[in-house]
Amino acid sequence: MRARDAARLSAIRLLLAAIKQREVDERVELSDAEVLSVIEKMIKQCRESISQFEQAARPELAEAEKRELELLAAYLPQQASDAEIEQAIAAALAESGASGIKDMGKVMAALKARLAGRADMAKISGLVKARLSG
């Protein structure tokens, strides 16, 4: 507030409101993992908004969403590298004994536990699908 950074203040207020709303809805105090899921959900919403604004030829709104996305991403743990993601996928495939697409749910459940907040699960889902179908 003292830095007069309106964009950062707005993003933080939105995040705090989303966390508080979920706590009130569920009548519990959120754990760190649940707070991370709130942040991930907000980041996903930002990405969707950016693509919609770009399709609607509204670059100024897309830029505002990109700034908010960067601010929210700063509150996530350090992102996993591509090598770490590949290693986690290989380990999850080996542990679950997955043989085809029908086993994708088991693999994704294992990966979500390992990579929550550290990687884009949509990207990981695509990588797993390619591995299982190939």
Render pLDDT for 37-92 as a digit per residue (tens, 0 to 9). Answer: 899 899 999 999 999 999 999 999 999 999 999 999 888 888 888 899 999 999 99
Same domain, 62 and 94: no
User: What's the pLDDT tens digit per position in 119-130?
Assistant: 888 889 999 999
Query: Which of 30, 46, 73 is a domain's end point?
Result: 73
55 within a domain of the structure (yes/no): yes
- The number of beta carbons lying within 10 Å of the beta carbon of residue 41 is 12
Q: Which domain holds residue 22?
A: 6-73
120 within a domain of the structure (yes/no): yes
Predicted TM-score (pTM) of this structure: 0.73
Separation CA 106–CA 122 (nearest Å): 15
